[in-house]
Structure 1
Amino acid sequence: MTNIAIYGFGRIGRQLLRSAVRNDLFFPTVVCDIAPAGTLAALLEVDTNYGRWPGVASEDDASISIDGRKISYVNSREALPDWRALGVDLVIDCSGRGVTREAATRHLENGATRVLISGPSKTAADCDAVLLPGINLDDFDADTHKIISMASCTTNALAAVVKVLLENTGIKYGVFSTVHAYTNTQSLTDQPMASRRDSWAGAENIIPSSSGAAKALGFIWPDLKITGKAYRVPVRTGSIVELNVLPDREISTEALRDLFRAAATTGPLAGILDVFEDEWTSARIVGDPHSSIVDLPLTQSFNGMVSVAAWYDNEAGFSMRLAETAARLAR
């Protein structure tokens, strides 16, 4: 049996565990972080965005318990854990620091068989493959893919839309904008930050930001000509991305919407892609496990152009795909 460790128990690490346990995908052997186990157990049990865990989370010095099942806890402040000694095969790096090959390789050097990175690698050379459920996860090669990137929440949201368009209309080129919930990289108050725009209060401003999603999509489709940007807005979670493309073949608005209706119910994107027939706001998708939820009333064809809007819970949806991918790699 494959033993799985979660390295980094922040926003994504905790939602990953919730998704994995609630959906019977896997139960981690080890959790690592630099914070005290008691604080982590409390944050797991009561989450501001997603409410209370339906059972009980508790801790002692060496473990975190969920409904009576123990997970070994290792404080990794001083050193990377010895995965070999802990019997860990697959490490899911949710620390945000495993995006270079140098950082990811340390897990392998410490005894892990494989590393799954919950973020976009800096370059294509910094991982062995970018694999996304519903997109290209079937390309997984156990012999050569030791460092695997799951890219970002925005990449997963866009990838489902891009796949449908590439297979049905083609894409000459395109541009996207994502309106994204604020994140831990921002500050609650105005103060100097590494990024000038991030120096203003994240819960009080619309803050333009760069997006690495276009580069990550290029790791999957090297010939894809898409670029884009992000805007961080004052919501806790729940985001939307709008992709505007010039297709190779023109399509009517209703035929375009039918493409996404079909993809949401059959084929590799079923359960990953969803659609809205009615008009909703971001509150509707908080906690939704889909990677991409196409807003059909906002999706249209106009003068040869195609515009597709897709919602995504930037924490819950991405964590669900991360859990599914980990379970697949473990098998």
Structure 2
Amino acid sequence: MKKKIYIAGCGGMLGEAFYTQFKDEYVIKCTDKDVNEDWLSFLDFRDFDAYKKDVEDFNPDYIFHIGAYTDLEFCEENVDDTYMTNTIAAENAVYLANSLNIPLLYISTAGIFDGKQDLYDDWDLPNPLGVYARSKYMGERFVAENANKFLICRAGWMMGAGPKKDKKFIQKLMKQLKDGNKELFIVNDKDGTPTYTHDFALTVKELIQKEYWGLYNCVCGGQTGRLEVATELVNLLGLSDSIKINSVESDHFKDVYYAERPASERLLTKKLELRGVNKMKDWKVALKEYIENYYQGYLD
């Protein structure tokens, strides 16, 4: 008999990958407060009573709690809403998983580190800089300290789901190219690791099937920065002759992106490698796959 997974906060770019990668092998119920797919039903996981009823009615074998506010500027301006969504709701998920005695998946982020080191492995201690980072780290800590059985997977610079749901770096660049921009201004002082949503979901699947519970950095292979990612994207699209990339410092965008960001969010997937369960491809390979799968004809 197929095992059942309740996926909360499944309406975004990561949710699309989880739905795609898990729907055939598991019975899944996908919920979100934004019902933007026919496979989603409504749930606001900040409403504990509603969350509890929905989960108990479904009676799952796992809870995947994957939704969060990830816009750093929004989080700085909406502090209570951010803690409610990113921290308190994660606590709700822990209570529910423990009451049903089932494992919980929580998604954390490379953004919880202060960026003073060049690289962070699974055992480095976080030091969050802003409201977003702190809200996610407090969620992570609550899960690690209180859940009976848990999987915490830390993602890096997320890419996935294409123009419809990707609100991050790749889609922002693609939108500029689609709008006819011949120049891109890219920061040269921010390092990190791209994370392809489908590889991330496949790695989670491997971890739960092997029952390797605990905390894992879960990012693509290879270490890079914003400038290298943009350059690789333009090359992949065959536009390196016609698009000029201007290297700028973060201050160039300080009016738009004023929330503090770590200089380095580079994660090492040390634990995944030691356990032999790393499904995360090199970021250049993953980026190529992403563009081919989701952006055919987008710039035409």
Same fold judged by TM-score > 0.5?
A: no
Higher Rg of the two aligned structures: 1
Scaled by the length of structure 2, the TM-score of the pair is 0.39
Per residue, is there more helix in 1 or in 2?
A: 2
Scaled by the length of structure 1, the TM-score of the pair is 0.36
Per residue, is there more strand in 1 or in 2?
A: 1
